[in-house]
Chain A
Amino acid sequence: ETGVTQSPTHLIKTRGQQVTLRCSSQSGHNTVSWYQQALGQGPQFIFQYYREEENGRGNFPPRFSGLQFPNYSSELNVNALELDDSALYLCASSLTGQDTQYFGPGTRLTVL
């Protein structure tokens, strides 16, 4: 059984660019959630996907968008990057109806 994996590990972009982050959920998990973790802070919920549809969203602007694919993997897209988007982006997978989430190692995004 493989855990949650994310790619890339690190990424450097400039302000105004667009970025796509990827996540493969733990085997059998059909729900994927994305979080933004700023330095020294707890993870902040961005959105959750279930059955390829957004199933809840935190307080993030529309330039943060996502996809979930039939194999439950997921993408997080961020358009018009801002300096404050620099953070660790975490993906977590879970089974629908269960509270426990399993986190991936994250993607460290730096916006210059």
Chain B
Amino acid sequence: QQQVKQSPQSLIVQKGGISIINCAYENTAFDYFPWYQQFPGKGPALLIAIRPDVSEKKEGRFTISFNKSAKQFSLHIMDSQPGDSATYFCAASRGGSYIPTFGRGTSLIVHP
């Protein structure tokens, strides 16, 4: 049972474009939604996270949009750069467990 569904599986964007990755969850007990960035040969690194009490959070070029009623959240990367080329994972965890359930990942390639 996949509790967090992530799409697309892969994404190719031109430099300067907007990259959008979407996730949907099933468990309404989830209350923490982080996004991780993983480069080849490295562990995932926390990029940005959101809680359901806000609909949007922005940090630099990275924005999370959150739709609680639809049980969906998305990552927007503005002005995408070749250095953003990596695999991105969404995740969700429920209060008290602090154990995230990960999506299957999106491989992002940003062409120069």
Chain A contact residue count (CB 8 A cutoff) = 25
Q: Are B43 and A4 in contact (CB under 8 A)?
A: yes
Q: Are B49 and A100 in contact (CB under 8 A)?
A: yes
Which residues from chain B contact A41 at a C-beta distance below 8 Å? 104-105
CA distance A80 to B42 in the complex (A): 27
Total A-B pairs in contact (CB under 8 Å)? Answer: 55
- Chain A residues 41-95 with CB under 8 Å of chain B are 41-45, 48, 56, 58, 90, 92, 94
Per-residue interface assignment for chain A, residues 20 to 41, with 1 indicating a CB less than 8 Å from any chain B CB and 0 otherwise: 0000000000010100000011
CA distance A101 to B74 in the complex (A): 20
Of the candidates A40, A41, A42, A94, the one having the most CB atoms from chain B within 10 angstroms of its own CB is: A42
CA distance A31 to B99 in the complex (A): 11
Q: Which bucket holds chain B's interface residue count?
A: 20 to 34
Contact A102/B46 with A41-B104, A42-B104 known, Cβ cut-off 8 Å:
yes
Which residues from chain B contact A48 at a C-beta distance below 8 Å? 98-99
Per-residue interface assignment for chain B, residues 32 to 51, with 1 indicating a CB less than 8 Å from any chain A CB and 0 otherwise: 10101000011111100100
Residues of A within 8 A of B (CB): 4, 31, 33, 40-45, 48, 56, 58, 90, 92, 94, 97-106
In the A-B complex, the 5 residue pairs with the closest CB atoms: A42-B102, A103-B43, A99-B32, A103-B44, A105-B43
Q: What are 14 A-B pairs at a CB distance below 8 A?
A: A40-B104, A42-B91, A42-B104, A42-B105, A44-B102, A45-B99, A45-B101, A48-B98, A100-B34, A101-B46, A101-B100, A103-B36, A105-B42, A106-B42
